[in-house]
Amino acid sequence: MAKIIPFKAGYCTHIACMAMRGSGFNVCQFPARAWLIEVDGYRWLWDTGYADYFKQYTQKGIFKLYQKTTPVYLNQGESLKEQFNVLGIDLASIQHVIISHFHGDHIAGLRDFTHSRFICSQLGWQTVKPLRGFFALKQGFVPSLIPTDFEQRVSFIEQFERCTLAPELSPFTYGYILPNSKKQVILVPLPGHAAGHIGAFILTDNGWTLLASDAAWVKANYKELKKPSRLANLIMSDSQAYYSTLNQLHQLSYHPDVTIYLSHEGEE
């Protein structure tokens, strides 16, 4: 079965009520999580968290607002490149980096993976590709974080084999089989938060795990259907689709053998 190893690569801060209405104005940490996925020696990285490139490319111009609105903290040794070096994980051993969506806290380390290919939603990439300046900032996208040869190294999930999901994963019904994963990793659209936003169902020894990315920010969003701030709707690509996905996660959470992980939930 597939193995998943969690990582945390820095964090940003924001007021709690942005993630969940009524939770106050105290400033909370939102960790930037990534996961290493392994199936029989084949390795994929799910997102990258923060890296020094984020600070480098948000120091001037309109992108300074990104750093101002969500202050980022990345200590020495916390980038995935540094963590992998300590653990003896060769970056070249990561065959693919899977991008859940193109917000800066999920793609800031892409430039470190010079030997890897990339996987994402075609809708997501085609939406952000032309964006610059204010329009990029509004979508949480920093164009300079994208490697210059990105399009020569990317594959789109829509090109993969489509499959029907197991009944225990309802109400989700279909997904795309990740090549070389022996059908143990299935990529699924989780629309709303960002254009082309995706998650992954992963079959482990403990059952199915869903990497739900930013389909919710805290567990209470989907477990208790406590919504984020109305202001959060302004940065969503489709707020109606977001709440539909949130309802699907709510239904999925009743399945006892399915574990849901979010990219920014706090420490357990």
> At 104, is the secondary structure helix, strand, or coil?
helix
Residue type for 154, please? V
Give CA–CA dist 50/79, Å, rounded.
6
Q: Which two tokens stand for residue 267?
A: 């420490």
CA distances from 59 to 56, 63, 261 (A): 6, 7, 31
For residue 196, the model assigns a pLDDT of 97
Can you list the alpha helix ranges (DSSP code H) found in 129-196?
A: 133-138, 150-153
For residue 231, the model assigns a pLDDT of 65
For residue 25, the model assigns a pLDDT of 59
Q: In 10 A of CB 123, how many CB atoms?
A: 18
For residue 268, the model assigns a pLDDT of 44
To the nearest 10°, report the CA torsion of 68, 100, 34, 116.
Answer: -110
Give CA–CA dist 264/145, Å, rounded.
20
For residue 227, the model assigns a pLDDT of 79
Rg (CA), the chain: 17
Give CA–CA dist 34/80, Å, rounded.
9
Q: Which two tokens stand for residue 160?
A: 């993969």
Q: What is the mean pLDDT of each run of 10 residues along the chain (268 residues)?
A: 97 72 69 97 97 95 88 95 97 97 98 98 98 93 97 98 96 98 98 96 96 94 83 77 96 95 80
Residue 264 in contact with residue 214, Cβ under 8 Å? yes
For residue 232, the model assigns a pLDDT of 67
CA distances from 110 to 61, 148, 234, 252 (A): 22, 11, 26, 31
What letter does residue 161 receive in the DSSP assignment? P
Strand order in the sheet with 96-98: 72-73, 3-15, 27-39, 42-46, 96-98, 117-120, 154-156
Cis amide leading into 171 (omega within 30): yes
